[in-house]
Amino acid sequence: MKTDAIIFDIDGTLTDSTNAIIASWNRYLDSLDCPHCLLDADLAGSLMGKTMDDWAMAVLPSLPLEEAREITEVMEQKENDEIRTNGTGLYPDVKETFELLSREYKLFILSNCGRGYIEAVMSYAGIEPYVTGHLCFGDNGLDKPDNLKKMMADYDLKHPVYVGDTARDGECCRIAGIPFIFVSWGFGDVPDAKYRCDCMKQLPAVIETVL
């Protein structure tokens, strides 16, 4: 059965926003009176792909989750502003591959990121014309497996594939019942992935092999 849609993860798949996140979050964290943990590359990398609740508790571990989330929502907006102003570490050939794939498939982006982040990256990358829809944890508080199921229902997707960079992405796909394509340039390693892509230009050919 032919693939009818491609759903992309964003961090580690389309972009590496580590520098933008660290810069914007740490500036705001340093302005707070409450105890906090500053981000570095290791901590930020370990949180990529996790929900914003996980990010909130990592940088503000002494606060109740609800209070920590209120603070991190402000930092999420500052992060989005940073990306719109100074850009992000976009991986090679993203725009060109999206343009090519959009001729044959509906394209979506789904992540555990905060609200507005996907839109900021899409704007910087220039891929908005090629994306049918997007969804994230910040929109509704749902983790990736539930949002995958929601997106499939909302857009009546029969045979989508998900493109991501971590074992967690693969597990989410297993729960949602859709094929997973592992990209090797991101934050994770999935040595037993059934489908693997080693550069963005390979992706159209890999998708054709998905059953």
Tokens at 52, concatenated = 């914003």
Please check the confidence at residue 3 and state whether its pLDDT lies above 80.
Answer: yes
Radius of gyration of the chain (CA): 17
DSSP state of 132: -
pLDDT-derived band at 211, boundaries 50, 70, 90: confident
CA-to-CA dists, residue 94 to 21, 88, 98, 125, 184, angstroms:
20, 13, 6, 8, 15
Q: For tokens 């990010």, what's the residue?
A: 55
At what angle are helices 52-59 and 65-86 packed, to 10 degrees?
Answer: 100
CA distance 75 to 98: 29
CA-to-CA dists, residue 31 to 28, 39, 114, 203, angstroms:
5, 14, 21, 43
Overall pTM > 0.85? yes
Q: What pLDDT is stored for residue 99 in this prediction?
A: 98
CA distance 75 to 30: 12
pLDDT-derived band at 49, boundaries 50, 70, 90: confident
Q: What pLDDT is stored for residue 164 in this prediction?
A: 98
Q: Are 133 and 150 within 8 A, CB to CB?
A: no
Mean per-residue pLDDT for 133-140?
96
* 65-95 pLDDT tens trace: 999 999 999 999 999 999 999 999 999 999 9
| Average pLDDT for the chain | 95
CA distance 32 to 92: 37
Type of residue found at 31: S
CA distance 205 to 208: 5
Q: What pLDDT is stored for residue 148 in this prediction?
A: 98
Please check the confidence at residue 1 and state whether its pLDDT lies above 90.
Answer: no
